[in-house]
A and B are shown apart, each in its own frame.
Chain A
Amino acid sequence: MSSSEKTLTIDNAAVHKRTIVAREAQPYWNPYIAGLGLGLVLLSSFVIMGRGLGASGAFSSLLAATVNTVTPSHPASNSFYAEYLGDGTKSPLKDWLVFEVLGAIAGGFISGLLAGRVRKTVEKGPRISVRTRFVFAFAGGILMGFGAKLARGCTSGQALTGGALLGLGSWAFMLAVFGGAYAFAYFVRRQWT
């Protein structure tokens, strides 16, 4: 094989790879269409179940179940865990929000797969390292978990669900979330821009 042939093959491979990538990741939906779909899912939850969506509660159930398995005497003495453990007649994981979040993971995966968006990546701006991004992600998660418990819900349970039900605390919460995020965005701008 001559050197020019080799170059040609490599070029072809590169072009081919590029077309695959371009064909793979489809653009996201129009935000109003996606929002309408999300709103109809929320509405069906109201109509079928009489409750809205959630997310952080599922993690509390998971944690309560874990703590209860590791040190059974500990959660019983703490009313925070006790709330998620119930009367002990059924597993705390046999919970509506736990199943809903499992569905959300499946739904997200299905959507991503159909649109060619399932890919091992790290979401960050070009100016920071993966390691720094992980530190920020972990710290942000801690604040999110703590804040969601203090506020009795997160963006799904409070802002989205409570927002649609016009709950007073939910609307105050929603304004506070945007306020907190906008006020702090400047300090972490290197992470994203």
Chain B
Amino acid sequence: MNAPFFKFGLFGDDVSLIVAFVIGIGFGFFLERAGFGSGRKLAAQFYFTDLTVFKVMFTAIITAMVGLFWLSWVGLVDLSLVYVTPTYIVPQVVGGLILGVGFVVGGYCPGTSCVAAATGKLDAFVYLGGIIVGIFVFGEVFPLVAGFYESTPMGQVTVPQHLGMPYGIMVFLVVLTAVGGFAGASWIEKKMATKVKES
């Protein structure tokens, strides 16, 4: 078996769009199942009362990360053919901060707002309008911010490459950290629940 299938030419561009739609269905389904169609549930992450966002996101990250690592280790997937977004460290951190503020103010991120709109949340429709305006503003000022956008390029680099550490060790460390994080998250939720009850 040679994977990624698309990169080995098992199917063409037109079929890839059908694949995209089917994968999208799974994506939206599990986002909704997790409760990510609710802005209140998403925002609760940032008030420590419901840490579902952290739990779901890190379970998904370690599932895909460990799965991909094993499949590549047994030789089924060529990891070098899986696209890694190139690192431009400073604009990514600044963009992340802006996006984080947008998350807690707006209540969603782009993917979750689609699911929220699909399940009838009117504020998600307004939010989607905001996203389009935000991208439009970025597009219009792009000639002015292009220099910053292209600054601090580091290429398609991974954390283990940057630290000069074996990929497998990094995978193991991330899993350990996530499991510790899950225990911590449940502890915080219990603490917050009693605090809310007392007040």
Q: Are A180 and B96 within 8 A (Cβ)?
A: yes
Interchain residue pairs with CB less than 8 A apart (20): A47-B4, A53-B27, A55-B114, A99-B21, A104-B115, A106-B24, A110-B28, A141-B133, A143-B105, A146-B134, A146-B138, A147-B134, A148-B134, A154-B111, A156-B110, A163-B65, A169-B154, A176-B95, A180-B99, A184-B100
Q: Are B119 and A109 within 8 A (Cβ)?
A: yes
With both beta carbons as reference points, the residue of chain B lying nearest to A146 in the complex is identified as: B134
Binding site for A on B (CB under 8 A): 3-7, 16-35, 37-41, 43-47, 49, 52, 55-65, 67-68, 71, 76-77, 81-89, 91-124, 126-140, 142-143, 145-146, 149, 154, 156-162, 167, 170-171, 174, 182
* Contacts between the two chains (Cβ within 8 Å), count: 536
Q: Which residues of B contact A185 (CB under 8 A)?
A: 43, 46-47, 104
- Nearest-CB distance from B175 to chain A (Å)? 12
Bound: A58/B76 CA distance, A: 30
Q: Which residues of B contact A64 (CB under 8 A)?
A: 139
Decide yes or no: A166 and B174 within 8 Å by CB, A63-B136, A123-B39, A171-B159 being known contacts. yes
Decide yes or no: A177 and B27 within 8 Å by CB, A59-B132, A141-B134 being known contacts. no
Q: Which residues of B contact A1 (CB under 8 A)?
A: none
- Nearest-CB distance from B62 to chain A (Å)? 7
Q: Are B52 and A168 within 8 A (Cβ)?
A: no
- Nearest-CB distance from A192 to chain B (Å)? 5
- Nearest-CB distance from B100 to chain A (Å)? 3
- Nearest-CB distance from A176 to chain B (Å)? 3
- Nearest-CB distance from B50 to chain A (Å)? 9
Asked if A107 is at the interface of the complex by the 8 Å CB criterion, the answer is: yes
With both beta carbons as reference points, the residue of chain B lying nearest to A150 in the complex is identified as: B95
Decide yes or no: A189 and B47 within 8 Å by CB, A103-B24, A166-B159 being known contacts. yes
- Nearest-CB distance from A153 to chain B (Å)? 6
Q: Are A117 and B23 within 8 A (Cβ)?
A: no
Asked if A69 is at the interface of the complex by the 8 Å CB criterion, the answer is: no
- Nearest-CB distance from B20 to chain A (Å)? 4
Q: Are B92 and A107 within 8 A (Cβ)?
A: no
A150-166 to B contact mask, C-beta < 8 Å, 1/0 = 11111111111111111
Q: Which residues of A contact B52 (CB under 8 A)?
A: 28, 31
Q: Which residues of A contact B118 (CB under 8 A)?
A: 105-106, 108-109, 112, 118
Bound: A191/B127 CA distance, A: 15
Q: Are B106 and A56 within 8 A (Cβ)?
A: no
Q: Which residues of A contact B119 (CB under 8 A)?
A: 108-109, 112, 117-119
Please indicate which of the listed interface residues A97, A108, A124 has the most CB atoms of chain B within 10 Å of its own CB.
A108
A residues 85-121 in Cβ contact with B at 8 Å: 94, 96-112, 115, 117-121
Asked if A20 is at the interface of the complex by the 8 Å CB criterion, the answer is: no
